[in-house]
Amino acid sequence: MGEAANMTTIALVDDDQNILSSVSMLLEQEGFQVRTYPDGASAFTALSASAPNLAIFDIKMPRMDGLELLRRLRQSSEFPVIFLTSKDEEIDELMGLNAGADDYIRKPFSHRLLLERVRAVLRRREPRKEPSEAGEQKRDTLVRGSLVLDPQRHECTWQGKPVRLTVTEFLILQSLAQRPGFVKSRDNLMDAAYDDQVYVDDRTIDSHIKRLRKKFKEVDENFEAIETLYGVGYRYRENQAD
């Protein structure tokens, strides 16, 4: 029982029984504990009560689709989510990222690709090793004026108020805030937020930036610390970091 409690839990939500069976078998063979749900409504009830380490949602499902499921869950939790989307449905991908997903995979997909994406997202969520001295922990916390980022606890605050960020959003913001005033290209931000083997396009980064701004403006309507330099990239503004 203790061993099961330490296993990484993955929630799989899809109305296709074949996908539920094959993917859950694959993940269990890799040592993951898998919880399966045939629709968004049943998943919402269960995942609200007990959050997994990671979730994989199909977008098109009866009763409650994956987008609505994620929107509701994001009101209270920020566990990583990978979306499954039908081939060439780019609008679904962008809507999913705007809703707060960390990644997406197009159907049909290979088991190898799915495992790579799952492991990549989980690696990004892993906390750093505990520092041996209090001074080291203090250095790990990034402070830029009103912004405080604590990678150890995956916590972000703005003007002392908590801002709930997904794994990808946290890594992108951390990359920008580490060097205020310096421009980070989309490629730079991709490198900071994704593993080398994971390909994402420019729109993915833009969607995450849009989501970041929205979250901070909910805390401070005057938030303008993330600046766009069209055709170049993004930077964290020094005048709001002071």
What pLDDT does 231 receive?
83
pLDDT at 127 over 60: no
Same structural domain, 16 and 109: yes
Q: Which residues contact 215 (CB under 8 A, 6 or more apart)?
A: 163, 164, 165, 169
What are the percentages of helix, strand and coil residues in the chain, rounded to 5? 45, 20, 35
Same domain, 229 and 157: yes
Which domain does 150 fall in, by range? 134-241
Domains of the chain: total: 2
Q: Which residues of 151-185 are buried (b: 16+ CB within 10 A; e: fewer)?
A: eeeeebebeeeebbbbbbbbbbbbbbbeebeeebe
Task: Tell how far CA 51 is from the center of its chain.
Answer: 14
Instruction: Indicate the residue among 72, 95, 125 that finishes a domain.
Output: 125
Q: What integer pLDDT is reported at residue 2 of this predicted model?
A: 42
pLDDT tens for 210-219 read: 889 999 999 9
Q: pTM of the predicted model, to two decimals?
A: 0.63
Distances (CA, A) of 78 to 14, 49, 197: 20, 14, 24
Residues 7 and 106 in one domain: yes
- pLDDT > 60? residue 151: yes
Whole-number pLDDT of residue 126: 67
Summarised one tens digit per residue, pLDDT across range 186-208 is 888 888 887 655 556 667 788 88
Q: Tally helices (H) and strands (E) across the chain.
A: 11, 11
**What's the pLDDT tens digit per position in 52-111?**
999 999 988 888 989 899 989 988 888 899 988 875 555 566 676 677 788 888 888 889
- Contact criterion met (CB below 8 Å) for 48 and 90: no
Q: Return the structure tokens found at 235.
A: 């930077």
Give me the CATH number covering residue 10.
3.40.50.2300
Question: Same domain, yes or no, for 7 and 89?
Answer: yes
If asked whether residues 77 and 157 sit together in one domain, one would say: no
pLDDT at 133: 41
Strand segments, DSSP code E, in the chain are 9-13, 33-37, 54-58, 81-86, 103-107, 142-144, 147-150, 155-158, 161-162, 226-229, 233-236
